[in-house]
Structure 1
């Protein structure tokens, strides 16, 4: 019996996920970006990460033909950036908060982390493409990351607070 779509999405909303904005630039220099929460490390040797992108997204062609892309792991107070890059029909870069970062790609200087990749492989993932990137450069900031769970943005609970409530 097939899994009910509503039950599946409701169940998956319970799984906390990092909130990222992936960026790239095409051959003409046009910048592209999208909000993604299906992001994960994949391999240490070689260093690989993955992010998933809806095949129907306006950014799909740019990312599947890109040589490089950058994953910006958003900081706890950057939900406005996540919402902007998830909105269709707007200039996602108009705010001016993206500057050239690793590999010259558009990035957020105040992101919790940045991972610059060369496109390693693009895999089929049903209605999504799985972009596998070979990590070329990283930056780890000192800000808490933004997470998404139960259809709301939040931030991880620091270890010292968990110990006090446990």
Structure 2
């Protein structure tokens, strides 16, 4: 339920209801990767990915401020967004963890500037950071796409807190 005080533009939402309503929007699943200043790889699973512009080619995603790798993503200068295939649910779960050993025994490809790329992804957007904007408890990171790698196949999706396969277009 949405509550507004008379004469006020402030909105009061139940956080659980808000999160549940957001879960009604089916999304794809991607992993964002980058390198810290020390050269250590960082990565996280996201579903907050969207296109911004075709000219120049821009995409955006958001990172929660209190995640351990948020600083690295804000300052890295380069990152990749790897859109996952339907058979990459285990990879999505691996990079959704909070531990710092996500890349241990996980083979990666190497992209522009040495940024790790997730093998088998349906689309990989290699980006330079275009802008970072405040977004409440998140920051919105906009990247300029400098290289693109694609392959065909069904995508991994997320809806109502569960993974699903996105493969059959409706006619």
**TM-score normalized with structure 1 length:** 0.92
Kept after mapping to 2: 8 A contact 1:55/1:128: yes
1:100 aligns with 2:133: no
The structure 2 residue matched to 1:14, chosen from 24, 29, 33, is 24
Q: RMSD of aligned C-alpha atoms?
A: 1.3
The structure 1 residue matched to 2:94, chosen from 71, 84, 91, is 84
The structure 2 residue matched to 1:45, chosen from 51, 55, 72, is 55
Kept after mapping to 2: 8 A contact 1:102/1:138: no
Rg (Cα) greater in structure = 2
Kept after mapping to 2: 8 A contact 1:103/1:116: no
- Equivalent residues in 2 for 1:118-157 (5 A)? 118-157=128-167
The runs of at least 4 aligned residues of structure 1 exceeding 4 Å deviation read none
Q: Deviations over 1:86-111 (max 9, x none)?
A: 11124100132322134431112210
The structure whose residues are more often strand, as a share, is: 2
- Equivalent residues in 2 for 1:55-66 (5 A)? 55-66=65-76
Kept after mapping to 1: 8 A contact 2:155/2:167: no
Alignment length (residue pairs):
161
Q: Matches of 1:108 and 1:143 in 2, distance apart?
A: 15
Structure 1's 126 and 19: CA in aligned 2 closer, same or farther, altered over 3 A?
A: same
SS state of the match for residue 146, structure 1?
A: strand
**Could you list the runs of 5+ residues in structure 2 that have no partner in the other structure?**
4-11
Residue in structure 2 matched with residue 26 of structure 1 by the alignment: 36
**Could you list the runs of 5+ residues in structure 1 that have no partner in the other structure?**
none
More moved, 60-69 vs 23-32: 23-32
**TM-score normalized with structure 2 length:** 0.89
